[in-house]
Amino acid sequence: MNNHYTIIIQWSEEDKCFVVSLPEWGEFCHTHGDTYEEALKNAQEVLEMLISSYLEDGQPLPEPQILGKSLTAA
């Protein structure tokens, strides 16, 4: 699925894994992975589920963030 949503991947010393934030979908939209690649794959799967769910429910999709504009919680 081609989309332009932000994926932020950061290492968490506390959790000992890579934590992923999907800021356009709200401050509590996170996933994780033991490796960077796994975290990215999980993020892509979550994004696909979110997009499908929103479309099925007839909800408008959040506007993707654009580089150079500030990130804000959805």
What is the percent of the chain with per-residue pLDDT over 70, rounded to a whole number? Answer: 89
| Average pLDDT score over residue span 38-45 | 98
The answer, as to whether pTM is greater than 0.75, is: yes
Kind plus residue range of the DSSP H or E element containing 56: helix 36-56
Give the separation between CA 28 and CA 51, rounded to whole angstroms. Answer: 16
| Average pLDDT score over residue span 12-38 | 97
* Position 39 pLDDT exceeds 90: yes
